[in-house]
Amino acid sequence: MFAHFLITRCSAPALALLCAGLLTLSARADDPVPPAAPAAQLPAAQPPLAPTTAPATTPPAATPTNPPTAAAPKAVKPKSDAPEALLLMKDGSQYQGFLVLRDERQYVLRIAGIDTRFEGDAVDRCEVLPPIADRYRELRAAIADDDIEQLSRMMDWLLAREQTEFARSEAAQLAMRMPDDVLARRAAERILRQVILQESVAKAAAPGAAANRAAAPAPAPSTGPQPFEPFPLLTQDQINLLKVFEIDLAKPPRLDIPREVITKVIEQYAGHPLVPSSKEGRDALYRKSAPEQLDILFRLKAREFYPRIKVLDPPEALRIFRDDVQRSWLANTCATNACHGGTDAGRLVLTNRKTSSDAALYTNFLILDRFRTADGKPLIDYAVPENSVLLQLALPRDQTAVRHPVVFKADATGDQWRPIFRKTDDKRYQQAIAWIKGMYRPRPEYPIDYIPARPFVVTKPGPAAGDR
């Protein structure tokens, strides 16, 4: 209770000192939290520590031919020299833990603090993972100092392996770097609570602890990302309206403007200089081509009639987006389940179902067009396409100031992100620049109500802006 009070009431500098271990706090007055060395001072050859970990992949529901067996839970040293390993079974399942024993007949992994035995003939192969300290340094080097979301995930990764010293050090540095940031403070507080809990549990399980020591508390419910609702897609009417606003009259797609639309325009805008008053003039307007009629509607800003215009082909710039962006790299890299198409997508979520369909194509485009980063920047810079955050994030991290966050692998062994473009003269990069330059300007504000799968901004568009 005292720990909770002090964490929630102390100032940001005090919180940082507390995280760093300069102020001592634990679940019991006689169990101080040991101080941690800052991450920058980690030794070059830090031996792997021995936290507990969950299986890399949930085993199948069917019972394996040679199921792993677990002895009754026993006192486990909070840290040991056992390396972390991944067992790949012959039935396709995988288990990750600390390799306690390995011989011709069996393997013993310490999973979630329990020594679990696997028959040797059921194991296809055993992969010993690099030391945790090395993987931690690799992950940390790829994360920006102000990326609170990615830093929080990394600290959770450390805590899952009981690397409390590293986690506390990261929390302390985060609190010191961003003392006035509410999200940074909350992240540091949460990590500190879990550090205190883990160290208290480790002491309770250590050899020599009192026999009647309370059992370790059950782990807290997962705070990881949860599946979201079925992906909302644009309707055909919304797609058609978006196409209308993007038509380049110098390269018009096939259009269909019903005759009754022109009749209504003549009636509603009678007296306007663009609308002929004579019968001959009105007859001439009916005979004009669809692009010529649309040009008049644009100049009248007769937006109430735009939904009734049928655009049969994609406008040129959106065709480039379809062929050279969505189909070339967006759908098979950014929108995959491991990135912005899965439950770890963060605020930016793209659809990766039926990506060749118009619904997926135009929905992803609208999401990219409207998305704003945490500091308010748009993903697409239509004025200076080379400055687009979308393209900067797709370049190698050493070639851009806007670095893509770490994308953790399923087995938490490192960063699975790879740049889409090798450099700025990459063909696909240049095609993306051509797409952005080809979009209509001044940029219109589509009168389309759309809330994405995981809302990044909940706003309703106002009246359509621009000269259309």
Q: What is the DSSP string of 106-171?
A: EEEEEETTEEEEEEGGGEEEEEEPPPHHHHHHHHHHTS-TT-HHHHHHHHHHHHHTT-HHHHHHHH
Q: For residues 144 and 166, give the distance between their C-alpha atoms in angstroms, rounded to a whole number.
A: 17
Task: Answer with the residue of higher pLDDT: 3 or 271.
Answer: 271
Only one residue has tokens 């486990």, namely: 76
DSSP E strand stretches across 257-380: 310-311
What was the pLDDT predicted at 132? 83
Least confident of 56-60, 93-97, 237-241, 408-412: 56-60
Task: Answer with the residue of higher pLDDT: 11 or 292.
Answer: 292
Q: What's the average model confidence in pLDDT over 2-29?
A: 46
Closest CA to 204 of 192, 213, 196, 191: 213
What was the pLDDT predicted at 91? 85
Q: What's the average model confidence in pLDDT over 222-232?
A: 53
User: Is residue 204 predicted with pLDDT exceeding 90?
Assistant: no
In terms of Cβ atoms closer than 10 Å to its own Cβ (0-12, 13-18, 19+), residue 1 is exposed
* Residue percentage of the chain with pLDDT more than 90: 36
Q: For residues 371 and 117, give the distance between their C-alpha atoms in angstroms, rounded to a whole number.
A: 49
Q: For residues 16 and 174, give the distance between their C-alpha atoms in angstroms, rounded to a whole number.
A: 8
User: Is residue 28 predicted with pLDDT exceeding 70?
Assistant: no
What was the pLDDT predicted at 207? 64
70-81 residue pLDDT tens: 443 333 333 456
- Going from N- to C-terminal start, the domains of the chain cover 2-43+133-205, 69-130, 254-311, 316-438
Average pLDDT, the chain: 78
What was the pLDDT predicted at 31? 38
Residue 228 is given by DSSP the state P
What was the pLDDT predicted at 63? 36
Question: Tokens for 244?
Answer: 């209308």
Q: What is the DSSP string of 240-254?
A: HHHHHHT--TTS---
355-397 residue pLDDT tens: 889 999 999 999 999 999 888 899 999 999 999 999 999 999 8
Please tell me the total number of residues recorded for the chain in this structure: 468
User: Is residue 454 predicted with pLDDT exceeding 70?
Assistant: no
Only one residue has tokens 């329990």, namely: 114
Question: Tokens for 152?
Answer: 């929080």
Contact 78, 162 (CB under 8 A): yes
What was the pLDDT predicted at 203? 75
What was the pLDDT predicted at 26? 38
- With a CB cutoff of 8 Å and minimum separation 6, the contacts of 355 are 326, 327, 331, 335, 361, 364
Residue 281: CA atoms inside 13 Å, Cβ hemisphere, count?
Answer: 9
Question: CA 259, 262, 266, 269: dihedral to nearest 10 degrees?
Answer: 150
93-149 residue pLDDT tens: 888 888 888 887 899 988 877 888 899 888 888 988 888 888 888 889 989 988 898
User: Is residue 40 predicted with pLDDT exceeding 50?
Assistant: no
Q: For residues 328 and 325, give the distance between their C-alpha atoms in angstroms, rounded to a whole number.
A: 5
Helix (H) or strand (E) holding 94: strand 94-102
Cα–Cα distances in angstroms (integers) from residue 27 to residues 20, 31, 192, in the given order: 17, 7, 12
142-45-165 Cα angle (round to 5): 65
Domain 69-130 has CATH 3.40.50.720: no
Q: Is 412 left (phi over 0), alpha (psi -120 to 50) or beta?
A: left
DSSP E strand stretches across 283-417: 310-311
What was the pLDDT predicted at 441? 92
